[in-house]
Structure formats: C-alpha cells, structure tokens
Amino acid sequence: MRITRLDRVMIYRFHADYTGEVVAGAHRDDLNSWFGLRYPASDIPKPARDIFKRIGVRPLPDVDGETVEMVPLLNPQTGRPLDMTYCALRGASVMYTDYLRNMGVTATLTMPILRDGELWGLIACHHYSPLPFPYALRAAAEFMGQITSLEIASAEGREYLQYRLRLDAAHHAVLATAAAAGDLSALTEGKSTSTDAKSSYANSIDAEGKPGGLLGGIDATGVAVFERGRWSMQGDTPTEAQLDALAQWLAKRMETSRSNEWVLALDDLGRQFPEATKYAQVASGVLAIRVSQRLPGDWVMWFRSEQTQTFSWGGNPYEKASTTRIDGNRLSPRKSFEVWQETVSGRSTPWKQVEVDAAVKLRVLLLDIVIGRAEQLAVLNTHLVRSNDDLDAFAYVAGHDLKEPLRGIHKYAHYLMEEAKAGRPLDARGLERIESLLRLTVRMDSLLDALLHFSRVGRLSLEMDDAQLDELLDDALDTLGGRLEENGIEVRIPRPMPVVHCDRVRVREIFANLISNAAKYNDKAERWVEIGHISPTDVAFKTLSSAGAGDVAGERVFYVRDNGIGIEERHRERVFLMFKRLHARDAFGGGSGAGLAVVKKLIDHHQGRIWFESEPGVGTSFYFTLGSGESAAHLNLA
C-alpha cells in the first residue's frame, strides 16, 4: 500500500480449478478484510488469465474513464483487430468494468505472480476513487510482482525439495525391503492373503513416531498394494472387494487419459466413481499408480479420508451472469459480493504435485523389482524345462536302457535256476550263461555310473576363474595319451588357445570327451584330431553354418574336428541324447553313450551352445561356445 497508495492490496492465489482465494492482504482501516474469501473461476476467465501470463502490470485508472475506439477497428493489412495486449493505456472490457462497479471499485492495478511460466496468482490492488498510475509507479509495481514471483518460487521450491527428499528416503527404505523380499506386499510391511483382512503391520510406528511402510512417505491415511492376485493394506482403506472394483475403474480411466496412463490423483473420488461414496469416510481421495499393464496389473494406491470443509465465498459462486440489453445483448456480471458460505463434503485434502511426482518415480523404481522378478521367473522356468528334460531322459533310461541288461540277467538267472532244480550239473553252456550275467552286470554298472555322473553335472556349482586353455588341453591330452597313441591319432593345435573365464575342471572334461569321441570313431589309416578356436574377427567366423551356429555374434567359438567316420543325417537328432550310441554296442570300443549328453549339459551350464557339422566318411566338427560364464558361475541348476 505504501508503494501504490491504493486502498486495498491483496495476494490472490489460484487453485487447481482456477477458483481464487485471498491468501494475504492489507486495506484501509475502514474497509472490511477479504482474507480467506474465495471467488469462482468465472470472475477471472481464461482469456484474462492468459493475458496475465504475458504482461507484467495491468493498470485501470478509472472504470468510468472515457474510452476511444481504434480507427480503423481492423488492420487493413491483416484484416484483424490490433493486438493491444501490451498497451498500458488500453481500455478494459465492459464486463470487467461492470464487475468492478458492482464491487464499488473505481481504479485497479494488477500484477501477475508467475511460477514456471504459469499463473500462480495475482497482486490485486483496488482503489475507491480515480487514481492515475504514472510510469514510475507502474514500473515499481511490475518489479514488485517479479520479486514476489521469485520469492514464492523459491519458498515453494524449498518446500517441494524438502518434502521430496523425505518422500524419496522413505520410498527407498521400503523399496530395499521389497527388493530383498522379492514381494511388493513388503511395501506395507505386512502380507494379507485372507479376504478383507488388513495387514498386521497396519498401524506400525517407527522409532520417530512415523508409520512404517509406504505410510511413512506420502501423507495419506491408508495405502493398498496389489500384487500376484492379492491385496496388502496398511492404515484405513476400502475392503478388498471394493479395491477390486476401484482398480477396474481406475484402469479404464487411465486408458482413456490424455495426460498419464500410469498415475491418477483425485480428491473427489465419490463424485467421479459413485460406488466410492460407500466408503467416503476412509477414501474420498486416491493417488494411484499402475505398476504394470498386464491384467489385472500391479497397483499401489494411497487414500485420504473425507475432509468436510466450509468455504467462504465473496458472493454466491453459483449465481449466473444475467443478460442485459444495452446497445444489444451482452452479459452482465453478478452484483452481490456478500459473504456466502458453503459446506463441502465427499472430498479429501488435495494431492500436491510433489506427491504425484514422487509416486511416478516410485513406479519407475518398482518396475525394476517387477522386471527383475520376471527375469528370475524366466531363469527358473528355463531351469524347470531343463529339469523336466532330465526327468524325461532318466525315465527313458529307466524304462529302456537299464531294463535291457535286467531282462538278460533275469533270463540267464532263470535258466540256471531251472538247471539246478533239475539236478543237472553246471556244463559249458551254464558257464557261458554265468559269463553273460557278469557282462550284463558290468554294463549295468557302467550305465548307472554314467547316469549318476550326468545327474551330478546338473547339480554342480561352477567355480569360475580365468583359465589358460592351452594348460587345460595339455591336462586332457595327458589323460587320453595312451588311448591316442594306441589309435595312432595325430593331435593338431593350429594356434595357441586363449584365456577364458570358465570352470577349469568342467571345460577340461568337455575337451576330453570330444577328443575321446573323435579318436574313437575313426577307421582311417591316417587319423587326426584338430582342436582350435575361431574369434569374431577371423574370416572363418563368417563361414560358420548359420543353421547350426544360430546367433553367436561376438562370441568366441571353439571346435574339435576329426577325419573320422562322420555322422549320418538320420542320426543327427540323437547325437546329444543320453545313452544313444549310433553304432553296435561293442563297435568302436563300446561305451555307454553318455559322453556327448554330459558335454552338452556342461556347456549349457556355462550358458553356451554346441552344434556340429559332419559328412559321413569324411569327418565331423563339433563347435561350442562358453557363453556368459560370469553370470553362470552363480547358478545352481537342478
């Protein structure tokens, strides 16, 4: 007032619905205070609000001052009226001057209060007699408006930051608990599985007297979390059945939202979702985030109870403008500004923008937990598929491979028993039967040993380390040395092998099995086995069979190649099956047929791949990768 010399100065703040409220002011001693009075949005319509975003001060020296029309009214060049937005001397609309006359106001000086380019409020100055506004006064008033805007932005920014830091700290604390538990219901510090049951931690209080869980963050009277088909609640919330219906409505509402399909903040839930009026006392306001889009989705909902409020209005806000005939039809503003009180129920305290922002950030962080859980489920599902495959293999072995020697044992034992019952002495034929029994028991023992080894491979934990493959190959070749010399095998290693992060013992076993097979299945006069690697930068890498190799981009490929008998096309699908020999039982030195099945399982355990290329009578090349061994080191496949 000291600067402007006007009779009344008010700070007028806009609410979210553009109704205004006098939040501060000073006035002449003989005038009534308007502090706390509210005014409808129609008192300062949108066109006027838009203008105040663009100008720094709006003077009106005299509502009854003479106005002069522009000549011509339309710009001849554009065909439109001249834009008078920035003209300090322009007149005001008849609607506005009538409005001021009805209030008894003669002169006004108005400065906008802006925050982030949006209209926060106004500094509205009234005078009850004509008053000129010289340039110096207008400049000072505009400067005060700018200073006020900066001060309010600074104060609200500090308030926002302090509250946001508290919210983030509270949310990170409960997120750590939820991440450790792998369960979003931990956000409420308790789990609820029975219908309409509240969490046993619903009223938990920490050492500082603040509620635990999500109630320790955003100011709310209740919170509900929906995950994996169940609700977990804390504080005062609707029942589970009511929450189910609310979630369905919120999902539809968010899907049709133009602003944000993941978050919705309402302080008048019952008005927009009539069914919610049944529980207005506990949930007249809701702040909801939809964590995932899959149906029915994961939800977090904060609730605020009903807050019955009494508002004092500067006149009846529902009084409509009347139509007055003065040189044609035009609207006439309301005439009464007597205090008019209204009691409002069914609403909660409005949600602050900082609370909505914190909820949006919380959703992003929760997605990490949900995605992490999905990845864990994918890994577990892969392990389950492998376990089922192993069970199928074991069932096949038990039903076929192990039964074969058992049938022979039963047959020969039955023969010997019949001979003994008949009192016949053991002859040469009987001795042959006993020798057959011994061979069958040895074969069965071999099959069981192979089966147990295959089973252990599935349960082992890899011990990952950087291994020099040249050293591993030397160990494997030393183990096979006698057999290789006996078969006259020439071992070729074209270039030094690299250092690889892997399980030394298991990779040595992979090479030993592949080299042993290559040496065994060879009937050439000159026999050789080649062991090597192909890096992604090698020319040979591009020639790998896409059908067999699949996607090995960026992975080093190892190989064991021979000039042996090769593998016929009809056997291709059986190569890595348990106990599947491709030749007669005793051909090429016999064996259980478990070697390649074990090799594949060890490579799978390293998250690698194995495939082969073969031409009957020419030879076979087995290729494999060791995948991302670093992550595989911590897996324990069952």
Q: Are 598 and 513 in contact (CB under 8 A)?
A: yes
| Burial class of 329 by CB neighbour count within 10 A (0 to 12, 13 to 18, 19+) | exposed
Closest by CA to 280, choosing from 302, 243, 307, 244, is 307
pLDDT, one tens digit per residue, over 260-287 is 678 999 999 999 999 999 999 999 999 9
- Find the range with the poorest average confidence among 46-60, 171-185, 292-306, 468-482: 171-185
Rounded to whole angstroms, what are the CA distances from 213 to 192, 496, 588? Answer: 14, 58, 68
pLDDT of residue 512: 87
pLDDT of residue 198: 39
pLDDT of residue 199: 38
Cα–Cα distance measured from residue 152 to residue 565, given in angstroms and rounded to the nearest whole number: 87
Q: What is the strand order of the sheet 38-39 is part of?
A: 58-60, 107-115, 118-127, 8-14, 20-27, 38-39, 309-314, 339-344
pLDDT of residue 483: 78
pLDDT value at 487 more than 80: yes
Residue 528: count other Cβ atoms within 10 Å of its Cβ. Answer: 18
pLDDT value at 101 more than 50: yes
Q: Is 430 helix (H, G, I), strand (E, B) or coil?
A: helix
AA letter at 549: A
pLDDT value at 588 more than 50: no
pLDDT band at 562 (very low <50, low <70, confident <90, very high): very high
pLDDT of residue 330: 53
Mean pLDDT value across the chain:
79
pLDDT value at 503 more than 90: no
Backbone angles phi, psi at 198, to 5 degrees: -95, 150
- Find the range with the poorest average confidence among 40-54, 343-357, 404-418, 491-505: 404-418
pTM of full prediction above 0.85: no
pLDDT value at 132 more than 70: yes
Give mean pLDDT, residues 78-104.
Answer: 87
pLDDT value at 437 more than 90: no
- Domains of the chain, with CATH numbers? 8-158 (3.30.450.40), 182-308+345-375 (3.30.450.270), 402-459 (no CATH), 461-638 (3.30.565.10)
CB neighbour burial string for 259-288, b if at least 16 within 10 angstroms, e if fewer: eeebbbbbbbbbeebeebeebbebbbbbbb
pLDDT, one tens digit per residue, over 381-428 is 666 666 556 555 555 455 445 555 666 676 767 667 777 777 777 777
